[in-house]
Structure 1
Amino acid sequence: MLDRSAKGVFVIAPTPFLPGGALDLDSTDRMTDAFIAAGASGMTILGVMGEAPKLTEAESLTFVDRVLKRVKGRIPVVVGASAPGFAQMKAISRGSMDLGAAGIMVSPAPGLKGDEAVVSYIAQAMDVVDGPFVLQDYPQLTGITMTAAMIARMAQDQRMVMLKAEDWPGLDKLTAVRKLEAEGKMPRVAILGGVGGQFLPEELARGADGIMTGYAYPEMLVKVCQLMGAGRRDAAQDLFDLHLPLIRTEVQPGLGLAIRKYVLKKRGIIAHDVLRAPGPKMSAETAGEVDYLMGRLERAEARLAA
């Protein structure tokens, strides 16, 4: 089970599809193997980049089951269960935990008004999940702002084991949460950054325990975490900077998942870069730009390894 000591790189996995839109379970196996081989400390599935709203409940649990069977307990798997209503949240979260998931991730529902409404919603969600709980703080998506003080209140429930910190700009909030912990005003929780990995070195320097994101070169994220942990910040930043142009390209609103799946396909990690409809399609010009960035990145890494 996930607990407050979690750290490292939790790779957010997309959901692979066949050209006709069905789940691609063979690619699911290959993708799971690739992320573990890259050094992932964990995986997160059915997250924002997992196209979860496009899946039926049965498909969601089929995908969860396939990933967990492939993982075989080697790393913890977190399942996203944010939903418009608690009935759907309960079905996905309880079903996933029964299959062997390590924890469940939920964000506040859009439209909540005021701090008390948000805190109350998360308390109810923790009762629904009734297991290790990951609080996703992603106001760019939900429109819900959670202050450090609100997070401290929610963390009093021992079931909240992790904060996925994705506010933007959010580095000062990360520092504020760690300050409240140091002052004894809240228990320490695991904090993993996000927002596509754009601020990984800074998040680690501010006290994050790692990152939860789906960048298509997770081995870089792992290496940066290792270098930062060894006190080699310049080396970590140099490596990160090589990838920043592709990270920037991958996090484009609307088109980002199409680009990420395209890169994963080119790397041989999934067989198809299909998004389930409705979804954007990459233009030939965008594909050419991504090809250029991938080639440039791989040449740069080859020079460093020489």
Structure 2
Amino acid sequence: MSLPQPLRGIIPPLVTPLSGRDTLDIAGLERLVEHLITGGVHGLFILGTTGEAPSLSYRLRRELIERTCQLVKGRVPVLVGITDTAFVESVNLARYSAEKGVSAVVTAPPYYFPAAPPELQQYIEDLVAEMPLPMFLYNMPGLTKVSFDIELVRRALDMPGICGVKDSSCDMIYFHRLIEVARQRPEWSILVGPEELTAEAVLLGGHGGINGGANLHPSLYVKMYEAAAAQDLPLTRQLHAEVMRLAGSIYTVGRHKSAIIKGIKCGLSLLGICDDQMAEPFQRFREPEREMIRERLSALGLIH
């Protein structure tokens, strides 16, 4: 499917349903894709942070790309994360994605050696030159140690292969500056990662959200986006409060940073959508945490 320019709306970062260390939960993936598309989402993003991409084998990444595209059947755009420490592997995955019908790829900075701004700019220029698909920049300094600074984004305006930025920095001043820069390229999409900031981001000119919680309750996030895009402030406030309640309920079970992905996967398991197997080094929630997630999903009205 061709990529709308700009891409707008809710594009959930899919969890990767697993049934073993290197085994895809194929039936679970099918249920998840249908759950999200039925919920009205505007695209799907696989192999991102929520998808545990760096922990997956290259073989499994390719299987996920192929099966997702087969299941989606062109109904919504599919975005694929190609972030890697090896330049050639990012290019290889992008080329494979293009062969399978993906709409765009997404890259964060390489996450082991921290690149200085001039090095990162050269890296992006080299990567764009090899891309068979439009590419989003993914700003995720909390995990990659470096940021796509505003000056680099400004220079990316002259790179035709780049189609936008996904920002997960939680820095709204940075996000506002992205919006200002992107006005020079009206076909660019500026998307936000944290769902707690999505309503504000859209009200102020952003194009949508790549929100993990949409795996669980896609229609809620779609309605919030639509209200914000229509500048309906009372409805936006109401739906934003519901999103905050979901995030505050599900992401606070467990003591570690992995609790967000564990919570989403556990919730999907309890909803009967897919297995909650985690990619190592993480492990699924044990029964006490699982029961807490069950109680909170019930309080949210998602299970009975």
TM-score of the pair, normalised by structure 1: 0.90
How much is the aligned-residue C-alpha RMSD, in angstroms?
2.1
Give, in angstroms, the shift of residue 19 of structure 1: 4.8
In the alignment, is the contact (CA less than 8 A) between 1:45 and 1:80 conserved in 2? yes
How many residues are matched?
Answer: 296
2:146 is equivalent to residue 144 of structure 1: yes
Deviations 1:248-297 (Å, cap 9, x if unpaired)?
A: 34376122211111111122221x11113321332433223322221221
Note if contact 2:98-2:132 (Cα within 8 Å) is conserved in structure 1. no
- Closer, same or farther in 2 for the Cα pair 1:230/1:168, shift >3 Å? closer
Tell me the equivalent position of 1:13: 14
Once the 2 structures are TM-superposed, how far is the Cα of residue 208 of structure 1 from its aligned partner?
A: 1.0
How many angstroms apart in 2 are the aligned matches of 1:53 and 1:229?
33
The equivalent residue for 1:222 is: 222
Maintained 8 Å contact 1:166/1:194: yes
Q: Is the 8 A contact 1:228 1:236 kept in 2?
A: yes
Change in 2 beyond 3 A, CA 1:113/1:46: closer
Q: Percent identity?
A: 21
Partner Cα distance (1:187, 1:227) in 2: 22
1:211 to 206, 209, 212: 209
5+ long unaligned stretches in structure 2? none
Of the structure 1 ranges 11-20 and 242-251, higher mean CA displacement relative to structure 2 is found in 242-251
**What pairs up with 1:112-261 in 2 under 5 angstroms?**
112-169=114-171, 171-182=172-183, 184=184, 189-195=188-194, 197-215=195-213, 216-248=216-248, 249-250=250-251, 253-261=257-265
Whole-Å separation in 1 of the counterparts to 2:135 and 2:41: 20
Between 61-70 and 119-128, report the one with greater CA deviation.
119-128
User: Helix, strand or coil: the match of 1:198?
Assistant: helix
Give the secondary-structure state (helix, strand or coil) at the position aligned to 1:146: coil
Q: CA deviation at 1:181?
A: 4.0
How far off its partner does 1:108 sit?
A: 0.9
In the alignment, the residues of structure 1 paired with residue 299 and residue 239 of structure 2 have an alpha-carbon distance, to the nearest angstrom, of 14
Secondary structure of residue in 2 paired with 1:11: coil
Counterpart of 1:92 in structure 2 is 93
Tell which deviates more after alignment, 120-129 or 244-253: 244-253
Amino acid corresponding to residue 199 of structure 2 in structure 1: P
Between the aligned partners of 1:231 and 1:73, the Cα distance in structure 2 is 30
2:301 to 288, 298, 301: 298
